[in-house]
Amino acid sequence: MQYKDFTDLIASGRNIFLSGIGGVSMRALAGLLMDMGAAVYGSDREESQVLDTLRKQGAKIYTPQRADNITGASLIIRTAAVHDDNPEIVAARQTGIPVMERSEAWGLLMRGYDRAVCVGGTHGKTTTTAMLATLGMSAGLDPTVMVGGDLPEIFGTLRIGGRNLMVAEACEYKDSFLNFYPTVAMILNVEFDHPDYFSDLDAVKNSFRAFALRTPENGTVVVCGDDAEALDTVKDVNRRILTFGFSEGCDVRGVNVREGKTAGCEVYYLGEHWCTMELSVPGIHNVSNALACAAAAIALGIEPDSYARGIARYNGVGRRMERMGNISGAEIFDDYAHHPSEVETTLKMAKSRAEGRVLCVFQPHTYSRTASLLHDFAAALSYADKVMICPIYSARETDTLGVSAQSLAQLIPGALVANSLEEAADWVIEEACAGDTVITMGAGDVYKTAQIIAQKGVERMHIISVREEPEYKAAAIRYFQQVFATDKNAKVYENCISYSLHTDAPLPHWYLLEDEDKIVGCAGMITNDFISRQDIWPWICAVYITPEYRGRALGGVLLNKAKADAREAGFKKVYIATGHIGYYENFGFKHIGTGYRPWGESSRIYEGDTSDIK
């Protein structure tokens, strides 16, 4: 299908069906197609929050995948995980409905942009794409972005910008990126991966070489000058080559590298100082990714000071050492690493920053990758202090190789095997101590382990109503004094706690959140008649969670308790006056305007329905 045929189909309003619509790249594609006016519907294997979001945007989605789902479709677009034996694809072939690969659709859409930066490499694609997106927005380029992880700055995986520039992640699996049309092709590194498709490293290099040649004759190929295989891949490519890295001879070179809680370096271009890079994230691998972005910025004509400002604004992307919460004083992170090099890099960085041990819950991804790289995985995982191996995530494969989690665990001293993600979560809860770093790791659904840990942590929490358990009054006042020591309303809170113990009125209530005899959070609910005799409204106030317990929706636990008590007292609505933006919407509150707290301070006002308990 040609570009005009595709855009005519989109404009016609005929149905376009996306098989596997919930995938990272597919959901971004669905969003862009709907923005262009297409009638989009699709399917996935099971329900998810992603599907709910797409439905709200206007897509009709079926689960599970069945032949009759495609009725009425003019075109099927499928993800790489949907094979020819999928019932929807079988039905499409039988009825003559054309089937297009996801990468082909993205490639056709890419032709509608003046410039396209396509980020390829065995590792680092998502992070580098996210960095480029942040940089491009900061520089005023208004990029359209497709990235393989949730980027907070664009509220997901897709940003719809202007037609001047597209920034897109480019995957080598099944030669997908050979459907793209880059004006700048980036090759971050080249290693053997995807053994179910590529026979050996030479096959991988041939694919990347063909990707580089997808650029026009006046295009640019950005390649890592520290990676011998990447350099060998482009040695005969007759395009402008910009190398980046730390080695002498790199066109864009990082020197005087700084590492710690954040990282940075001095950036030189063709031997001249170009700018000072200061990142907001740690890790020398992120410095390398940012140097790749510097080379792309040069190719795009972005000025050094604009690059420096933009790259400093990057704060991370989903599932790349993403902080998920805390358990027993141990921090929990989730990371997408699923290749030995990625695993080693992530664990080394974690070890360099951890106060205590590094505990890793690893879920191998695909049988073919696990079998081909088994000993490399074992060596990489040995950087963790404790390792739990989960069952292999099969993705698109069936086990024909006889490899298992046990096969990997027996190569790692002291490693254990979990039969399920819940069993792995229970191990973390039992094993983790204050100061430890826990990382759930893999490209499958191992992130659910962190969610299970957080939920189990919530379940063991105890909400104390000071009114119902007055023996906690002194503890409550001490905690409020500690938390709100510099808050001019602290005395008001203290007086309200005392008042709640000496009134027959249904409110106020004061709550403490207790974790194993430790107070870790608080909230209050008062009525405005205690401050001024007007119409009686319940106000939730003083919501606070001890910092190391944040990131687990514990504030929502307290808010739900307050809503329930307000409902029992006969109130249909509760209110919050706060300076926070965005937080309370997560728990069913809506911003209704600006007003005043009961004691006169100007704030944003949120309203919650007591029948809506999140």
- Asked if 268 and 253 count as a contact pair (C-beta separation under 8 A), the reply is yes
- Residue 499: CB atoms within 10 A of its CB come to 14
Q: Where in the chain is the domain with CATH 3.90.190.20?
A: 322-459
Q: pLDDT class for 501, splitting at 50, 70, 90? A: low
Q: In whole angstroms, give the CA distance from residue 356 to residue 471.
A: 36
Would you say residue 521 has pLDDT above 80?
A: yes
Domain 113-312 has CATH 3.40.1190.10: yes
Q: Which helix (H) or strand (E) holds 28?
A: helix 24-35
CA dihedral 29, 153, 323, 407 (to 10 degrees): 30
Residues forming beta bridges with residue 107, ordered by sequence position: none
Q: How far is CA 381 from the centre of its chain?
A: 22
- Asked if 420 and 391 count as a contact pair (C-beta separation under 8 A), the reply is yes
Enumerate residues 6+ apart whose C-beta is below 8 A from 153: 133, 134, 137, 313, 315
pLDDT tens per residue across span 62-83:
999 999 999 999 999 999 889 9
Q: What is the DSSP string of 459-518?
A: HT-EEEETTT-GGGHHHHHHHHHHHTTT-TTHHHHHHHHHHHTS--SS--EEEEEEETTE
Burial of 379 (C-beta count, 10 Å sphere; 0-12/13-18/19+): middle
Q: Identify which of 1, 316, 295 has the alpha carbon closest to the alpha carbon of residue 127.
A: 316
Tokens 């004006």 belong to residue: 183
Least confident among 3-12, 42-51, 485-494, 521-530: 485-494
- Asked if 143 and 133 count as a contact pair (C-beta separation under 8 A), the reply is yes
Enumerate residues 6+ apart whose C-beta is below 8 A from 148: 24, 25, 125, 126, 129, 157, 169, 171
- Asked if 212 and 221 count as a contact pair (C-beta separation under 8 A), the reply is yes
Alpha helices for 122-217 (secondary structure H)? 125-138, 201-212
Least confident among 141-155, 198-212, 444-458, 494-508: 494-508
Q: In whole angstroms, give the CA distance from residue 152 to residue 316.
A: 8
Q: In whole angstroms, give the CA distance from residue 333 to residue 339.
A: 18
Specify the pairing of strand 144-151 against strand 330-335. Answer: unpaired
User: What is the pLDDT at residue 530?
Assistant: 42
Q: Fill in the DSSP letter of residue 66.
A: -
Q: In angstroms, what CA-CA distances link 461 with 136, 325, 513, 514, 520?
A: 44, 15, 7, 6, 9
What's the sign of the alpha-carbon dihedral 497, 501, 506, 511? positive
pLDDT tens per residue across span 126-169:
999 999 999 999 999 999 999 998 888 887 889 999 999 999 99
Q: pLDDT class for 532, splitting at 50, 70, 90? A: very low
Mean pLDDT calculated for residue range 103-126: 96
- Asked if 415 and 424 count as a contact pair (C-beta separation under 8 A), the reply is no
Q: Where in the chain is the domain with CATH 3.40.630.30?
A: 462-609
Q: In angstroms, what CA-CA distances link 395 with 90, 144, 452?
A: 20, 29, 21
Extract long-range pairs of 65-74: CB within 8 Å, 24+ residues apart. Answer: 65/19, 67/91, 69/17, 69/43, 70/17, 70/19, 70/95, 70/97, 72/15, 73/15, 73/16, 73/17, 73/41, 73/97, 74/9, 74/14, 74/15, 74/16
CATH number at 462-609:
3.40.630.30
Q: pLDDT class for 9, splitting at 50, 70, 90? A: very high
Q: In whole angstroms, give the CA distance from residue 465 to residue 472.
A: 8
Would you say residue 477 has pLDDT above 90?
A: no
Q: In whole angstroms, give the CA distance from residue 556 to residue 460.
A: 15
- Asked if 69 and 62 count as a contact pair (C-beta separation under 8 A), the reply is yes
Q: Where in the chain is the domain with CATH 3.40.50.720?
A: 3-102
Number of H helices, E strands in the chain: 19, 28
3-102 CATH pick, 3.30.750.210, 3.40.50.1820, 3.40.50.720, 3.40.50.10440? 3.40.50.720
Would you say residue 534 has pLDDT above 60?
A: no
- Note if the pTM is more than 0.75: no
Tokens of 76: 């099927």
| pLDDT, greater one: 318 or 220 | 220
Q: Where in the chain is the domain with CATH 3.40.1190.10?
A: 113-312
The CA radius of gyration of the chain, in Å to the nearest whole number, is 27
Q: What is the DSSP string of 230-269?
A: HHHHTTT--SEEEEEESSTT-SEEEEEEE-SSS-EEEEEE
User: What is the pLDDT at residue 434?
Assistant: 85
3-state secondary structure of 136: helix
Would you say residue 119 has pLDDT above 90?
A: yes
Fold of 322-459: Protein-Tyrosine Phosphatase; Chain A (3.90.190)
Tokens of 480: 């409020």
Q: In whole angstroms, give the CA distance from residue 469 to residue 171.
A: 58
Would you say residue 361 has pLDDT above 80?
A: yes
Q: In whole angstroms, give the CA distance from residue 501 to residue 357.
A: 45
Beta strands in 314-455 (DSSP E): 322-327, 330-335, 358-362, 386-389, 416-417, 437-441
| pLDDT, greater one: 525 or 581 | 525
